[in-house]
A and B are shown apart, each in its own frame.
Chain A
Amino acid sequence: MVEKIVLVLTPVLAFFVGIFLVGFKRKMVARIHRRYGPPLHQPLLDIIKLLAKKENISHGVMFDLGPVIALGASILTVLFLPLPGFKLLTPYGDLIAFLYIMVIGSLGMALGAGESGNPNASIGIARALTLMLGYDLPFIIAGNTLILKYGTTSLFNLMNAQSNLHWNLFFLPLTAVAGFIATYGAMGEHPFDVVVAPQEVATGPMVEYGGKHLGMLMIDHAMHVYIETALFVTLFLGGASNIWIFILKQLGVVIVMTLVDTVLPRFRIENAVRYFWRWPTIFALLGLFIVYLGG
């Protein structure tokens, strides 16, 4: 019974944690810029404002379904990550399945943006997918290293194997660094924010979205922040024994990311992909090699 209640509440939790992380990031960026910054709950207010808009525009059925599929898929994705103390749906799918489940939302979003007929949106998606090919390579190698080392593909077992400070960050530092850079790229932070790039493609895939569509996309974005950071915490920072430590670790990841994000300019897309295929991939391959020889 408790499991079922947790199952229903986890997406809600993920949303609020994500909103908190997004709000925290905005505040932190402002402080680095020596501004005061908006209040912590500003993203929540933004979403409420957008959802309450009376006038919305639509370019067709797929355009409407884009945000709907993205959000629905995020709800699914959250449930395939282990929460401290709860397996949720992880017994029914492992890391490989998770990688593919994560893609459903992006596909919905891409289809929706594609139907708007705005070339900026199409360019944004072409960039997003190319970038994905970039950061996936180091991430896949890092994931394979973990699978090879622990002999399991279950996310829950991978998390439990790191209990008592046996974090992969300490024991597989090269792999963890590669995984971090890949996660960082997946979050689209500077210098990898080629997808949104307001000065070049006018926020890319989101260019035509406004009103309730954009509001739902922001909910989806908050959940995505939760998913990416939670995956990194699960795979490399040893998960957590209770939810508060888990959130604290996610916050730590966001703080490190923001420190880098705030001070960097933007790569061009081909340089970004080439970067992913060079440094993090070399780190990941070295890590894999060490585990292969050692295990």
Chain B
Amino acid sequence: MNFSINLSLLTILLTPFFGGLLSYAGSALHRYVRNIFYIIFLALPFLELYPYFNNSVDFMPYATVFGYNLFLGINALSFTLLLLFTLMFFLAGIFLLFEFANKDESDLAVLEFMFLEGSVFGVLLAKDILTFFIFFELIAVFTYFLIQKGYSGSSKASVKYISWALIGANFLLAAIILLFTKVHNFGYTEIAAFLGNASPTFVVLVFAFFLIGILIEATIMPFHVWAPSAYSEAPDSVSVILSTVVKKTAIYILVVLAFSLFGLNLFLKIMPAVFNNSIVMYILQWMSALTIIIGTFIAIREEDAKSLLAWSSIAQSGYIVLGISLGTSLGVSGGLLHLINHSIFKGILFFVVGGVIYRTGTKKLSELGGLIKKMPVSFISMLIAIIALAGIPPLNGFSSKYLIYEALIEKKEPILLTIALLGGTGSFLYVYRLIHSTFLGQLSDKYTDVKEVPLLMQLPMLVLSILAILFGIFPSIPMNFVSKAVSYLGFEPIKYYLTGFPTQPGLHEVNILKISSTLIIGFVVSLLIFLLLPKAKRVDQLDNYYAGEKLVKETKYNYSFGFYSFFDDVLGSFSHLSIDKIYSNVEGLFKNVGDYLRKFYTGNLETYISYGVVAIVIFALIYVLGGVLW
């Protein structure tokens, strides 16, 4: 084991905190000073991470608490995620400057944003449960502050978020205390060694507590209820971070717990197996499958652009956790690859929707439409993102979803595969609805003067779009990282080549370059046919066929509200089911109990004194009578 003190790891961890303080101090001088510090310190982790491209640090003690060492470390898995998250923070950070440009709380937002990045780094670098717990809760705190700075409903959403985060924190704390009382150490290795020989009930209990705490942040059903409101009411740059970083951090912890701290063999040893899975993993698979299908169906019916993305994000985290919970090399690779890919395309979608809101001021889909001619760059970015999200080749969503599907086939799980594939079709519905209602259809008169977002705001979308295309055609680029991470977790990495995956056990060959080059040839051929024919004349959007009706500017028909309204009829009474309602029933129960208790706790001093008198009388009676009777 490598116990040497390595200051640069600590530097990575402290850079965002230091940068946040420095930019906050800089804001006292001038906004530009703040922005320069901010951008520099957002970009700095790229440089600091570079030496760890091929190196890992197992354990680096950095502090001692009650005589126990706390450790930091970096490995292939956390390096990959650190790199990805640094990129997402950098891009979202640029976006944040525009979003908060004219608001008073911009200085505070910058500070909290940097601190949030530091907390995320802390979780990824942690090598003991205390460090992990502290930074994991710091994430919740800064996220809470940042959500509050969002749209009109954000104060309610942030309270909902912090309540759920606290429920999760309590479960995590319970698990950590349980572990600490037995192990008397915080380090991951000591805990893993202890768990190998612990009693089955103890292991299951601790894992269940950890799982609940993590699944709340990972938005897996039925612990997702905070996410839709928080994602849609948070500022746009924070929504990006919530969906691409905060959630993925929780999934990282899940991976570490399931494969490194506890281990699949341990689960198989102590609990009954169901279809070649330990029962915990099997339950997790079904929870994520339900997350996929329910999340997708709700996203189809959403009317608010950001709520739609929130539900889509919940559904996609179902894919990631489904892949990971399969516990095979193929499944975990697919899950981790989808984690990276999802961050990329969901990042684009939140940036584009944020840009549209920045220009038009509304996130209601029914109020938008026809913006393609006004915001072409945003349109192309969103087009790339939705193709990727729907899992259509040759963009990046395809390869990862493909791996997850093949992993399900390899595991012989036809029902889960059906759900996952149907979720893929369903995602096609809501992404089309999103792009149609924002960019296609008819342009409203309100938006005739709308311009494309400023160049610096286009930068995040463009960078991620290029990544989506690159990672799509060359899945070897992200696979390079993923396979290192997978072998760190103890799986045999799957084979891949530059532009696809060769035939191997459980996987049919897929060559994305062949698909994309054939697509391009087909496209060029049909484009040639199109161009050789007589040229078309451009007409106005009102120059349309309406079955005999004459249309004027004042009475336009833009089909946008209730795009899939007939889908409600298809689902029938199922569409009224809601996990939220169950929780509100529980909440109602607590309220009733509270109301009942309030009859005693009136807040009136005299009542309390009389309670005290009654109690003294009762105790005195017991004392006196006790002396008589016994």
Contacts and interface: CB of A to CB of B under 8 A. Distances in A.
Interface of A: 11, 51, 53-60, 62, 64, 67-69, 71-76, 79-80, 89, 91-94, 96-97, 99-101, 103-104, 107, 110-111, 114-120, 122-123, 125-127, 129-130, 132-134, 136-137, 140-141, 144-145, 147-148, 152-154, 202, 207-208, 211-213, 215-216, 268-270, 273-274, 277, 288, 292
B385 to A, nearest CB: 13
Given A56-B533, A129-B429, A130-B429, 16 more contacts: A56-B534, A62-B372, A71-B522, A72-B527, A92-B515, A101-B515, A103-B428, A104-B519, A122-B436, A129-B432, A132-B428, A133-B426, A136-B421, A141-B414, A202-B545, A270-B566
Interface stretch (B61-69, B264-272, B387-395): B387-395
Contacts of A74: 522
A170 to B, nearest CB: 22
Given A130-B566, A207-B545, A76 B440 contact: no
A100 B427 CA distance: 12
A153 B518 CA distance: 21
A74 B518 CA distance: 11
Contact of A115 (B425, B440, B523, B569): B440
B470 interface: no
Contacts of B446: none
B514 interface: yes
Interface string B380-420: 00010001001111000010001001100100101001100
A135 B536 CA distance: 36
B3 interface: no
Contacts of B529: 71, 216
B581 interface: no
- Does more than half of chain A's interface fall in helix, strand or loop, or is it mixed? helix
A148 B391 CA distance: 23
B57 interface: no
A80 B508 CA distance: 14
A94 B537 contact: no
B429 A79 contact: no
A6 to B, nearest CB: 14
Contacts of A148: 412, 414
Contact of A136 (B422, B535, B542, B543): B422
Contacts of B443: 117
Interface in B508-555: 508-511, 514-515, 518-519, 521-527, 529-530, 533-539, 541-547
A53 B558 CA distance: 29
A134 B569 CA distance: 13
B442 interface: yes
Contacts of A145: 414
A117 B442 contact: yes
Contacts of A270: 566-567, 569-570
A85 B425 CA distance: 32
Contacts of A202: 545, 547
Nearest to A203: B545
A145 B387 CA distance: 28
B121 interface: no
Interface of B: 370, 372-373, 383, 387, 390-393, 398, 402, 405-406, 409, 412, 414, 417-418, 421-422, 424-426, 428-429, 432-433, 435-436, 440-443, 500, 508-511, 514-515, 518-519, 521-527, 529-530, 533-539, 541-547, 557-560, 563-564, 566-567, 569-570
- Which 10 pairs from chain A and chain B are nearest by CB? A75-B522, A114-B440, A72-B523, A72-B522, A58-B536, A56-B536, A122-B559, A71-B526, A119-B559, A270-B569
Contacts of A92: 500, 509-511, 514-515
A265 B553 CA distance: 37
A53 B536 CA distance: 10
B223 to A, nearest CB: 27
Contact of B509 (A56, A68, A91, A288): A91
Contacts of B405: 96
Nearest to A113: B440
27 contacts: A53-B534, A58-B538, A67-B530, A68-B526, A71-B526, A71-B529, A73-B522, A94-B510, A96-B508, A100-B398, A101-B515, A107-B387, A114-B432, A114-B441, A117-B370, A117-B542, A120-B547, A122-B436, A123-B559, A126-B559, A130-B570, A132-B425, A133-B429, A137-B418, A148-B412, A273-B567, A274-B570
Please indicate which of the listed interface residues B440, B521, B525 has the most CB atoms of chain A within 10 Å of its own CB: B440
A93 B429 CA distance: 24
A96 B402 contact: yes
A224 to B, nearest CB: 14
Contact of B536 (A11, A107, A147, A211): A211
A74 to B, nearest CB: 7
A222 to B, nearest CB: 13
B539 A57 contact: yes
Contacts of B406: 96, 153
A69 B523 contact: yes
Contacts of B545: 118, 120, 202, 207-208
A94 to B, nearest CB: 4
A76 B518 contact: yes
A73 B523 CA distance: 7
Contact of A126 (B428, B508, B535, B563): B563
A148 B418 CA distance: 12
Given A55-B537, A92-B510, A136-B425, A60 B442 contact: no
A263 to B, nearest CB: 25
Contacts of B435: 111, 114
Contacts of B515: 76, 80, 92-93, 97, 101
B326 to A, nearest CB: 16
A141 B433 CA distance: 26
Contact of A97 (B402, B525, B526, B563): B402
B479 to A, nearest CB: 17
Contact of B541 (A79, A117, A127): A117
A213 B537 CA distance: 12
Contacts of B425: 132-133, 136
Contact of B436 (A89, A114, A273): A114
A72 B525 contact: yes
A132 B529 CA distance: 29
B568 to A, nearest CB: 8
A51 B528 CA distance: 13
Nearest to B442: A117
A113 to B, nearest CB: 9
B402 A56 contact: no
Given A97-B393, A126-B563, A145-B414, A117 B537 contact: no
A136 B564 CA distance: 17
A277 B418 CA distance: 13
Contacts of B569: 270
A93 B372 contact: no
A140 B391 contact: no
Nearest to B572: A274
Contacts of A123: 559
A283 to B, nearest CB: 14
A2 to B, nearest CB: 18
B254 to A, nearest CB: 26
Contacts of B539: 57-59
A125 B530 contact: no
Contacts of A117: 370, 440-443, 541-542, 544, 558
Contact of B422 (A101, A125, A133, A268): A133
B414 A103 contact: no
Nearest to A99: B421
A87 to B, nearest CB: 12
